[in-house]
Amino acid sequence: MPAVQETVEQVRAIDIDQYKYGFSTDIEMELAPKGLSEDIVRYISARKNEPAWMLEWRLDAYRRWLTMREPDWARVDYPQIDFQDMYYYAAPKSNAAPKSLDEIDPAILETYKKLGIPLREQEILAGVAPENRIAVDAVFDSVSVVTTFKEELKKSGVIFSSISEALHEHPELVKKYIGSVVPTTDNYYATLNAAVFSDGSFVYIPPGVRCPMELSTYFRINEQKTGQFERTLIIADKGSYVSYLEGCTAPMRDENQLHAAVVELIAHDDAEIKYSTVQNWYPGDSQGKGGIYNFVTKRGDCRGARSKISWTQVETGSAITWKYPSCILRGDDSQGEFYSIAVSNGAQQVDSGTKMIHLGKNTRSRIISKGISAGRSQNTYRGLVSAHRRATNAKNFTNCDSLLIGNACGAHTVPYIESKTASAVFEHEATTSKVSEDQMFYCMQRGLTQEEAIALIVNGFVKDVLQQLPMEFMVEAQKLIAISLEGSVG
Amino acid sequence: MSLLEIKNLTAKLADEDKQILNGLNLTVEKGQVAAIMGPNGSGKSTLSYVLAGREDYEVTDGEALLDGENILELSPDERAAKGLFLAFQYPIEIPGVGQMTFLKAAVNAQRRKNGLDDMPTPEFMKLVNGRAKELGISPDMLRRSVNVGFSGGEKKRNEILQMALLQPKLAILDETDSGLDIDALKIVADGVNAMRSPDRGFVVITHYQRLLDYIKPDVVHVLSAGRIIKTGGPDLALELEAKGYADIVGKAA
């Protein structure tokens, strides 16, 4: 049909370059000299006024990193990264330890406002019910610019600050837990992160406390040729609960930028951590030029008995995603969950999944992964479920569904299952389907446009996972998925 | 002006050479129920798909005017917003998409295209619940995913529910009777009859006379080899039932 053909052409013409957050902020920055060396590691540590043990820790990691090789087992393909051709530290000049929001460069506040992240507590408070309040740690390039609602959180004993600040105010906690889940020797990017990490969030929930509001960190890469290496450390002490959300965006740039973060979660006896990510880094243009390399190590340690860690991720951005949020189920009767939606369009490449390591008795894990590939993208689920000898009665349920849109994309599922105990029960289900022309025609016959039809069908496909997100972000995530898939038909 | 005027419509599957519709002419007036009958492979379903704008078909000649406007250049959703509705022979399942979500998306998509605001949710709920009750659609069915796990009869009733909500100008029913037992057939027919009005036209595509006992047509057309070969009153359907298609098709050829 000529008319339909025309529509398809039009839709094709709107390529995926509709990234809403592609603006950059013009602001004077302080940059470390380009490249990576021991001096740069010392420079970063000095800028942050770190204690000597922290510098030693970083240098150890750096020396170790020099001996390591980049991992190449993931199903992603990109040119060699020149680690000497980027900046490892970039901070807004005006941001020398601001005491209050009034001291922060208005350009930065404006940036976050444009991103829909209000940082002024008065603005957040206006018209928001207390239970819906969200405390935000805003990280701009290498530094945390502000953390909101700190005082209020302090009343319940919750510590929520940038990790640099925590190093000064709670060095004993940082020292005790940092690197205890993701050791400095863990993997190439985690080791690099340990050497050069610049900032990130720190959360400590004291025993028995249910964190009174959602906590979140909003990461923004702004500066060119800059890597972002943040480190997040969340500790939920006995019987506590916290829900944490991470969001991220970056300007549209032709070059590739590296984001190599480390997130460590520790849940003690009966504690629960719910960690949600809405990852919307710049994905590059439709030809695969530019975009963020998102090489991230996220791991949670269910250290205590009956503890629970739940990862929920909505991954729509980044040129390349290499990320496996995992759970070590160490405590008896502990639980791990992984809910993932990974959307790839254009020339994006995703290799993502999880690891559920069952060490304790009666540990349970659940994996629900929904991959959606469109355009010429490649989307791989890679997951490991393992049970140690001690992990009697370990149970896992895995469900991996892939949805293909169009004929040029790929979906791959690579599950690894290892069990050393006869009493473990591991279930794995996987499906691959296509958005069918029948479904599209049915929806359009009822009046939905091509884009609306795709969004509706895809949102149906990911419903089980969307439901895991905090209420406020469900609608956001739905919209984000629709935007990411714009121009995917044709 | 006629509600639907099809002139010399010629169409084929996009990736095959064989013509399926061969210069088809058909007029449907407002307020009319036109039955289209014909043997297997005569082009009945193709006609409904071509009118609704399915991509797999290519129109090689002719036009189809809805209220005087040629709709063949429009996308399926634009045709829908202009008031064309197709009740599918095999309604499609959409896993994970709730019935209510789907119905609301459809109603509002059409309203927006016609310059109206979205229907307020309470009004929508009231409307759906009312229509669903008339069609014997249980609240449980409304909570499920679109057509997933529905029986054949439930799927067809669901098509009629959508028609009732969208209030089209022209409704094409593609073998809506297939797979229905007699009770379900009556419910579906009642749903259609309730919507008959002087402004609305129906094209009822069927193999069998049986459906036409419940939805009385004003006119019956016989389709064969992609063309209307005979037109008559309701009696024509009875005649076909008694004698079979071979007789008429033979005479026309």
Q: DSSP letters of A209-238?
A: -B-SSEEEEEEE--STTB-B-BEEEEEE-T
A22-26, A422-426, A448-452: which range is least confident on average? A22-26
Q: Tell me how far apart the alpha carbons of residues A190 and A66 are, in angstroms, rounded to a whole number.
A: 13
User: Would you call B85 and A445 a contact, using CB atoms and an 8 Å cutoff?
Assistant: yes
Between A128-142, A371-385, A416-430, B116-130, the lowest mean confidence (pLDDT) is in A128-142
Question: Which residue does chain B place closest to A5, by CA atoms?
Answer: B55
Q: How far, in Å, CA of A471 to CA of A467, rounded?
A: 8
What is the average pLDDT value for chain B, to the nearest integer? Answer: 92
Residues in chain B closer than 8 A to A456 (CB atoms): 94, 97, 101-102, 105
CB pairs below 8 Å between A and B: how many?
A: 100
pLDDT in tens, A327-362: 999 999 999 999 998 888 888 899 999 999 999 999
Q: How sure is the predictor about A252, in pLDDT bands with cuts at 50, 70 and 90?
A: low
Report how far apart the first and last C-alpha atoms of chain A are (Å, whole number).
14
Tell me, yes or no, if A438 comes closer than 8 A to chain B by beta carbon. Answer: yes
Interface test with A, best of B97, B108, B173 (most A CBs within 10 A): B97
Question: Residue A144 has what pLDDT?
Answer: 65
pLDDT at A132 over 80: no
Q: Which amino acid appears at position A389 of this protein?
A: R
Q: Do A446 and B109 touch (CB under 8 A)?
A: yes
Q: A236 or A482, which is more confident?
A: A236
Q: Which residues pair with B220 in a beta bridge?
A: B35, B232
B112 to chain A: nearest residue by CA?
A447
Joined together, the tokens standing for residue B89 give 């022979």
What pLDDT score was predicted for residue A317? 83
pLDDT of A86 reads 86
| Domain residue limits, chain B | 4-91+168-183+193-252
For residue A447, the chain B residues in CB contact (below 8 A) are: 77, 80-81, 106-107, 109-110, 113, 166
The answer to whether A447 contacts B166, with C-beta atoms less than 8 Å apart, is yes
Residue B195 has pLDDT above 80, yes or no: yes
Helices (H), B63-120: 76-81, 99-113
How far from each other are the two terminal CA atoms of chain B, in whole angstroms? 32
Taking only the tens place, the pLDDT of each residue in B26-45 is 999 999 999 999 988 899 99
* Residue B94 phi, psi (nearest 5): -125, 95
DSSP string covering A461-478? HTHHHHTTS-HHHHHHHH
Contact check, Cβ <8 Å, A445/B86 = yes
Per CB-CB distance under 8 Å, the chain B contacts of A464 are: 96
Please give the pLDDT value at position B215. 93
What span, in angstroms and rounded, lies between the C-alpha atoms of A395 and A362?
Answer: 7
B27 closest CA partner among B58, B81, B63: B63
User: Does B96 contact A460 at a Cβ distance shorter than 8 Å?
Assistant: yes
CB neighbours of B205 closer than 8 A, spacing ≥ 6? B35, B36, B37, B44, B45, B47, B48, B172, B173, B174, B175
B57, two tokens: 């078909």
Question: Residue ranges per domain, chain A?
Answer: 5-484
Beta bridge partners of B249: none
Q: How much is the pTM?
A: 0.79
CB-CB contact of A187 with A64 (8 Å) = no
Fold observed for domain B4-91+168-183+193-252? Rossmann fold (3.40.50)
Which residues on chain B are in Cβ contact (under 8 Å) with A441?
52, 54-55, 76, 92
Chain B neighbors of A449, CB-CB under 8 A:
75, 77, 109
Q: How far apart are CA A234 and CA A264, in angstroms?
A: 6
pLDDT computed for residue B246 by the predictor = 81
Distance from CA of B22 to the nearest CA of A (A): 17
Coil, strand, or helix at residue A68? coil
Of B80, B92, B97, the CB nearest to A456: B97
Mention every residue, 6+ apart, whose C-beta is less than 8 A from residue A67.
Answer: none
b vs e for A371-383, b when ≥16 Cβ sit within 10 Å of the residue's Cβ? bbbbbbbbbbbbb
